[in-house]
């Protein structure tokens, strides 16, 4: 009955690999987000989809590509992973622009 | 880009003490949110503030939306060990925008 669920919770991979993180929400929200939290715990928005339409696309390397097959799902695909991509990636959802509900995060470690 | 500065950056307090933290910016915000993040988890929404001057409570937590719309504070009364965590403020820049800017966080440690 988890509201926003992300998989996997931990991801360790080598430089140069391609990986995906999946997110699903069962709250009936119309907007979903990807945030990146760095080692200093700073949270920065990456992307947002509203009803499957990309509405926020921050300055993120184009190796990162979000995909939203429907309102309840938002995936993040990362190509050619680099050491600097190591971080915790949070999925979140909201009803319109009201406060977000976050998932528990995916800790990505690139070695 | 815009940044929200939170202070203090970290604090140690004794159980039972009251805690106060704030969030300031040079930009005007339409909505302020306060979140708490426990280790290994995502941030959890504590309080949402939608109008300048608004004062809202949630149990032992009280938060206010500054009159200038450039700041907000969060108070925790009678702290307990489970209050340990990182507290983030987040501001919505424009009415109806989906983007929130997060603050730098206040790390709270409670000594039993």
Q: What would the pLDDT profile of B33-76 be if each residue is shown by its tens digit? A: 999 999 999 999 999 999 999 999 999 999 999 999 999 999 99
Counting one residue from A and one from B, how many pairs have CB atoms under 8 Å apart? 51
> Which of A90, A97, A102 has the CB atom closest to B96's CB atom?
A97
Q: If contacts are CB pairs under 8 Å, which of residues 18-37 in chain A contact chain B?
A: 31, 33
**Per-residue confidence (pLDDT) for residue B96, from 0 to 100:** 73
Q: What would the pLDDT profile of A50-104 be if each residue is shown by its tens digit? A: 988 998 888 889 999 999 999 999 999 999 999 999 999 999 999 877 889 999 9
**Per-residue confidence (pLDDT) for residue B107, from 0 to 100:** 96
Give chain B's mean pLDDT. 93
**First-to-last C-alpha distance (Å) of chain A:** 34
Q: How many CB atoms lie within 10 A of CB B112?
A: 7
Among candidates B8, B4, B29, which has minimal Cα distance to B19?
A: B8
**Per-residue confidence (pLDDT) for residue A1, from 0 to 100:** 66
Q: How far is CA A31 from the centre of its chain?
A: 13
Answer for the pair B64, B22: CB distance below 8 angstroms, yes or no.
Answer: no
Q: How many CB atoms lie within 10 A of CB B52?
A: 16
The helix (H) or strand (E) run that includes residue A25 is strand A19-25
Among candidates B99, B81, B82, B79, which has minimal Cα distance to B91?
A: B99
């Amino acid at each position: 009955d988890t509201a926003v669920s992300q998989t996997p919770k931990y991801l360790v991979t080598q430089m140069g690999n391609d990986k995906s993180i999946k997110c699903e929400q069962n709250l009936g929200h119309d907007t979903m987000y990807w945030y990146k939290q760095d080692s200093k715990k700073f949270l920065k928005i990456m992307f947002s989809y509203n009803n499957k339409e990309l509405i926020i696309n921050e300055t993120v390397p184009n190796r990162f590509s979000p995909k939203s097959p429907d309102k309840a799902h938002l995936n993040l695909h990362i190509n050619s992973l680099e050491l600097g991509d190591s971080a915790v990636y949070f999925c979140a959802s909201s009803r319109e622009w009201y406060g977000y509900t976050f998932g528990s995060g995916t800790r990505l470690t690139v070695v | 880009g815009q940044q929200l500065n939170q202070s203090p950056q970290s604090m140690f307090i004794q159980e039972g003490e009251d805690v106060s933290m704030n969030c300031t910016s040079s930009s005007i915000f339409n909505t302020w949110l306060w979140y708490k993040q426990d280790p290994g988890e995502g941030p959890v929404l504590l309080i949402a503030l939608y109008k300048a001057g608004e004062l809202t409570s949630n149990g032992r937590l009280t938060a206010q939306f500054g009159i200038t719309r450039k700041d907000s504070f969060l108070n925790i009364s009678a702290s307990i060990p489970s209050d340990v965590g990182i507290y983030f403020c987040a501001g919505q820049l424009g009415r109806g925008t989906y983007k929130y800017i997060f603050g730098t966080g206040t790390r709270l440690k409670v000594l039993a």
